[in-house]
Amino acid sequence: MQVVQTIPALRAALAQARAAGRTIGFVPTMGCLHAGHLALLTRARQEATFNVVSIFVNPTQFGPNEDFSRYPRTFEADRTACESAGADLIFAPTPADFYPQGAATWVDVEGLSTGLCGEFRPGHFRGVATVVAMLFNAVQADVAVFGQKDLQQLAVIRRMVRDLHFPVRIIAHETIRESNGVAMSSRNRYLAAEDLQRATAIPAALAEARRLVAAGETEAARIRDAALACLTKEPALRPQYVAVVDQETMAPVTQVTPGRCALA
């Protein structure tokens, strides 16, 4: 497995892979890898024959009072995990490598970026879309794999790929969960054991929404209210939003279409 830091070194390695007839898979990450990330890599290896994992804590997607400085950075463990999982190359630039003259050019996916998480993290999805566009330009992958945990991010990236005609196929992978049902996340390490237990109200709310849909419920308001009731049973949780949305547009819906809608 190779590790490169600069875009010229990345492109040179990828040129050799393509010359050997390899197809390129890509899994972008911010590091602090867990089983969810490795599941994305496993899926990429099913789709492509040379697979790149990027590890880059992107400063432009963090707000002024967010956790950029303390976001966990575990590169040596990440390198070991990637090698064990079959990655062919790690691209690990520094902010100085990636933004040598600062950030002045942005990709802003309007509409999709403003509600839900975007309401509480202004500028976040602009930073995400911009860095993913830069990574796509650098890697020129045939396929890229993203998790469904960050559903709004996935929708933003899919729209960006469509609007800007990036020649990459986007694959969405199901959310990988802890044994208690909580979605795996690098930020889970911020939580104490009792907080992780309280967070089980979230998968319980999702399960209740699924149960109602399976039973034939189509009224989005009823599904939302039932999920919110599950969350409010845990007084320590303070949901910023609960909504039933279209997975492509992230717009709220009034009627649920199974397979097209999601609880956010």
Q: Note the pLDDT tens digit of each residue in 27-66.
A: 999 999 999 999 999 999 999 999 999 999 999 999 988 9
Q: Which domains does the chain have, with CATH numbers?
A: 2-173 (3.40.50.620), 192-263 (3.30.1300.10)
- pLDDT at position 136 is 99
pTM of the model: 0.95
The pLDDT of residue 234 is: 94
What pLDDT was estimated at residue 95? 94
Q: What is the pLDDT of residue 103?
A: 85
Residue 229 has pLDDT above 90, yes or no: yes
Residue 258 has pLDDT above 90, yes or no: no
Lowest-pLDDT choice from 120-124, 144-148, 165-169, 257-261: 257-261
Q: Average pLDDT, whole number, for the chain?
A: 96
- Per-residue pLDDT of 105-147, as tens digits, reads 999 999 999 999 999 999 999 999 999 999 999 999 999 999 9
Helices 124-139, 151-164: crossing angle, 10 deg rounding: 50
Residues identified as active-site = 37
Contact in structure between 38 and 81 (CB atoms under 8 Å): yes
E strand or H helix at 170: strand 169-173
* Coil, helix or strand at residue 233: coil
Nearest CA to 208 among 244, 235, 174? 244
